Chains A and B, each alone.
Chain A
């Protein structure tokens, strides 16, 4: 295994401390009017702000994806285990991104695109006709290749965006609770210490690496069970990349992570399991160490040893 043991970095995320809205100095004016109600999540509905639910497993069954007549994903069966990091590697155009975008049903946002087969979140088929696509995307967050904070919003508003944009009832996003959730998300994304003094500044003013962690915080704020990362470090320098990788290692305690990457060293560093795709098909999946040192398929060996791709 490339990751030795559970991560230690969440030591600074003491839940009790985070629950107190006044625990940290709040120098910023964001819409935080003190309210009587404490920011804890409602135990009845299980929407705790801090003690996150564990991640959920995702299973693909005969997943096929189309753009018009083209078929970039040609029937994939693949398991993503709960609270593990699974890396998807493969040459450009092999269908990695398309496959991942099918998991939270973002694929269908492209005109002319459709998917077949099943995507099971735990036991629920997200393509079932009774399933609300909005709810699927709240449960399965996504981080994109290029950092894309909302340009009209401050750092705080960017993280709060997911909570505010959801159509849930108003009471659930009481303002003190919102502030606590934003802080929790920023701490989880390892960004709090860097931006706690700049919450009211535009999110687009941060550095590229900070912007990407802001986007991760934005995804975390809605408390998803799965996070999909589509080459999250390809636009970042090595130091920013390292920070994101450390973050991934910490986050798997509370979410299931699927990461598409072109960087095989990155897959080796962060992933528990690695899947190798080629031409829209899954060639091989297994523990990362085995994929890189002792693959069963010769095509995998050729790819990981740099003979093609």
Chain B
């Protein structure tokens, strides 16, 4: 027995008081309850989507276009092929526009603009853009590209509206990540005699890549789920079409028109389409994460 037992004084001095134990328990319970409450709607949404949407999934659901026959019993209402492909095409073009420009703006803000008055002005307007309701982007493109040119709706006009919507999200998220890249890395690359543009392309962007992927994905997910900017830019149609110059269907617009139908089968198709949209975004997330993880090791 080499360890002497503590005296009563010591015990009193170092013991946890009952009041603190109580406070600790209350605080823990509150935080945990908050987490559970936040999870409830999330779980319910996924549950409802699966329950209502899975039923309408079938081979023909994905491989046929909607027929437009929604009132006559016995006739097929068709699937959502044109909506899936339309969303993929419109969002792909929107991403191709918004991601390079957005990352370019973020690089300029972080590497060149810094705290100049122009950079601050750009940041301010980017923040304003983030808060603009999506239908305003749709209206803007409608007025400029549909009314303004005297032409009709087209897939690429929807892409422009979505690109405008994505742009501020891409810029802000990329800027935050680029600011996290340690200044020491830039300095040591510059001190090796690397020109600034090479430092940006070879050191700063690869280091920031995994973080930027997350921000870009958020922007894509947001754009893919938007209805309002597409309603009067790309409009809706039944047929699958690979020409971005024509009317183009999309999942959100399809869901929007289906869910207001009096026919149960059509409403069910809306649930199936909603589930499809969620699964598509989930898959995109997984793929991008795998890619960014691999590129980091290389």
Contact = CB atoms under 8 A, between A and B. Distances in A.
Interface of A: 104, 106, 109, 111, 134-139, 141-142, 144, 146, 148, 150-152, 161-162, 164-167, 202, 215, 218-219, 222
Contacts of B207: 150-152
A137 B191 contact: yes
B184, B186, B190 — which one has the most chain A CB atoms within 10 A of its CB? B190
A138 B192 contact: yes
15 contacts: A106-B191, A109-B190, A139-B193, A148-B182, A148-B185, A150-B203, A152-B206, A152-B207, A152-B296, A162-B194, A165-B195, A165-B198, A166-B198, A219-B191, A222-B193
A136 B190 CA distance: 11
B182, B188, B193 — which one has the most chain A CB atoms within 10 A of its CB? B193
Nearest to A165: B194
A166 B189 CA distance: 10
Given A165-B194, A165-B199, A218-B192, A144 B187 contact: yes
B190 A106 contact: yes
A165 B198 CA distance: 6
Contact of A106 (B182, B187, B202, B297): B187
B115 interface: yes
Nearest to A202: B297
A117 B280 CA distance: 62
A44 B130 CA distance: 58
Contacts of A148: 182, 184-185, 188
A111 B113 CA distance: 11
A136 B193 CA distance: 7
Contacts of B206: 152
Interface string B197-217: 011001100110100000000
B114 interface: yes
B185 A161 contact: no
Given A137-B193, A148-B182, A161-B202, A142 B114 contact: no
A21 to B, nearest CB: 23
Contacts of B185: 148, 150-151
A106 B186 CA distance: 11
A142 B189 contact: no
Contact of A137 (B114, B190, B198, B297): B190
Contacts of A106: 187, 190-191
A63 to B, nearest CB: 18
Contacts of A162: 192-194
B205 to A, nearest CB: 10
Contacts of B182: 148
B187 A165 contact: no
A12 B281 CA distance: 58
A167 B192 CA distance: 12
A165 B192 contact: yes
B111 to A, nearest CB: 11
Contacts of A137: 190-193
Given A111-B114, A137-B192, A142-B191, A167 B184 contact: no
B184 A146 contact: yes
A111 B115 CA distance: 9
B227 to A, nearest CB: 39
Contacts of A134: 193-195
A166 B297 CA distance: 23
Interface in B82-120: 114-115
A164 B191 CA distance: 14
Given A111-B114, A111-B115, A152-B296, A141 B192 contact: yes
Given A148-B184, A148-B185, A141 B199 contact: no
Contacts of A218: 188, 192
A137 B193 CA distance: 5
Contacts of B115: 111
Given A111-B114, A151-B207, A219 B192 contact: yes
B191 A141 contact: yes
A202 B298 CA distance: 9
Given A111-B115, A152-B207, A165-B202, A144 B184 contact: yes
B251 to A, nearest CB: 36
A136 B182 CA distance: 23
Contacts of A164: 202
A104 B191 CA distance: 8
A107 B190 CA distance: 11
Nearest to B297: A202
A189 B169 CA distance: 45
A130 to B, nearest CB: 17
B298 to A, nearest CB: 8
Contact of B188 (A135, A142, A167, A222): A142
Nearest to A215: B188
B189 A165 contact: yes
A179 to B, nearest CB: 18
A136 B195 CA distance: 11
